[in-house]
């Protein structure tokens, strides 16, 4: 079991090809997004207290997923084409089209730890096009990064995120970035 956590690596994106009427996604073949610098996702949802008998009688909690940024060295062309729906023409030029909607996706990644680390899977993400920011080189060269704003929503069955634990089977760990982790038989608490 990890005592401390640090670092992010092995980001993989799996475009969602379709969703059944029940909301079960079918994922396309994934691809790696190298150069992960940081991932910052804030919870999306809130609490609403209900007051009775002069106290907080009941509190509802909503889980609407996560929102935040993935900072990477360079956004791969594959991400721009498959997720942001850029078109690559015969001249090899990528063209952004304002009429195309981004493709939803699942994302897997790893957080390093002092022992085993933790692998994560977020099931239904959307990304917005990145901002453009460029600056001149000054006295020393310092790499710039690019950020993708991402939002991860619950699936119809409520799944938002899966993550490994110290009890996760090695076969599951070995296959983590081959496809989004999926388990129909989630035990009730």
Q: What does the pLDDT look like over 88-120, one tens digit per residue? A: 999 999 999 999 999 999 999 999 887 788 999
Chain-centroid distance, C-alpha 129:
15
Structure tokens at 92: 């090899």
C-alpha distances (whole Å) from 145 to each of 67, 71, 112 are 19, 7, 21
CB atoms inside a 10 Å sphere around CB 159? 20
Q: What is the mean pLDDT of the chain?
A: 90
* Every domain of the chain and the residues it spans: 5-133+142-174
| pLDDT at position 184 | 64
| 189 pLDDT above the threshold of 50 | no
Cα–Cα distance for residue pair 107/150, rounded to 1 Å: 10
The DSSP letter of residue 87 is E
If one compares 165 and 136, the residue with the highest pLDDT of the two is 165
Residue with tokens 């940081």: 38
């Amino acid at each position: 079991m990890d005592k401390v956590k640090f670092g992010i690596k092995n980001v993989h994106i799996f475009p969602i090809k379709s969703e059944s009427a029940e909301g079960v996604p079918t994922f396309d073949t994934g691809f790696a997004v190298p150069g992960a610098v940081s991932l910052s996702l804030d919870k999306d949802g809130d609490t609403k207290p209900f007051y009775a008998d002069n106290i907080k009688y009941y509190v509802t909690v909503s889980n609407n997923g996560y929102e935040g940024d993935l900072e990477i060295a360079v956004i791969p062309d594959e991400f721009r084409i498959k997720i942001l729906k850029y078109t690559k023409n015969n001249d090899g030029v990528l063209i952004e089209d304002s009429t195309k909607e981004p493709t939803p996706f699942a994302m897997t990644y790893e957080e390093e730890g002092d022992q085993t680390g933790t692998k994560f899977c977020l099931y239904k993400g959307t990304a917005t096009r990145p901002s453009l920011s460029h600056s001149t080189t000054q006295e020393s060269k310092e790499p710039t990064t690019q950020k993708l704003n991402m939002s991860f929503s619950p699936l119809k069955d409520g799944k938002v995120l899966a993550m490994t634990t110290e009890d996760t089977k090695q076969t599951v760990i070995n296959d983590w970035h081959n496809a989004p982790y999926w388990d129909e038989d989630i035990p009730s608490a």
